[in-house]
Amino acid sequence: MAPDSHSDDAQWEIDSLRERVRLLEGVVDNFPGGISVFDKTLRMVFCNDQQKQLLDYSEILFASGYPVLEEIFRYNARRGEYGPGDVEEHVKLRMDLARQQSAHVFERTRPNGTVLEVRGVALKGGGFVTTYLDGTIASILGLLIMMLVLVVKPTGLMGAAEKV
């Protein structure tokens, strides 16, 4: 019996997809920050362990599988992640922004002092990907440089250093 070329093609497609998944898992596992993916209904479909650690997500949040975005916003608002104010107002504001699914980049300082760089981008067909990087050290270095400039300029140390 001759090999079925259709089944060979199908097997090749399956093997190719498995390899792509393996490579993508390697990227996600080695990404130096958090990654989450939400579908067009704003339901989380993926969240790596680094994000759970960076944002101190409780396992309770994921007890029934991946949560919807509104649950995550409410969880964060209750913990004071967005500052003082009404929890439901924080949730509504963020849900309104999320529904726009527009690209965004911003820094957010968590209550524990961690500075996060948050980047989000919309996906074709709906949904979005968000990455979280710990920018705490970069923020501290930026503040130290600003303080150094403020100290050095008034004292005239810059001029003295240039003469040496």
In a domain, 14, yes or no: no
Note the residue count of the chain: 164
User: What one-character DSSP code corresponds to residue 64?
Assistant: T
Any domain includes 63: yes
Cα separation, 68 vs 38, in Å, equals: 8
pLDDT digit string (tens) for the chain, length 164 residues:
455 677 888 889 898 989 988 888 888 778 889 999 999 999 999 999 999 999 999 999 999 999 999 999 999 999 999 999 999 999 999 999 999 989 999 999 999 999 999 999 999 999 999 999 998 877 777 777 777 777 776 655 555 545 55
**DSSP string spanning 11-49?**
HHHHHHHHHHHHHHHHHHHH-SSEEEEE-TTSBEEEE-H
- What CATH number did the domain enclosing 91 receive? 3.30.450.20
pLDDT at residue 146, as a whole number: 77
In a domain, 146, yes or no: yes
73 conformational bin, left if phi > 0, alpha if psi -120 to 50, beta if neither:
alpha
Question: How does strand 34-38 pair with strand 104-109?
Answer: unpaired
Q: Please give the pLDDT value at position 6.
A: 73
DSSP symbol at 60: G
For residues 138, 140, 143 and 147, what is the CA-based torsion angle, rounded to 10 degrees?
-130
Residue 133 lies in a domain: yes
Asked, for residue 15, whether it belongs to a domain, the answer is no
Which residues 6+ apart lie within 8 Å of 107 measured at CB? Answer: 115, 116, 117, 118, 135, 139
**Residue 27 falls inside a structural domain:** no
Whether pTM exceeds 0.85: no
pLDDT at position 4: 67
3-state DSSP assignment of residue 160: helix
Which residue range(s) make up the domain with 58? 32-156
* Residue 23 within any structural domain of the chain: no
Count of domains for the chain: 1
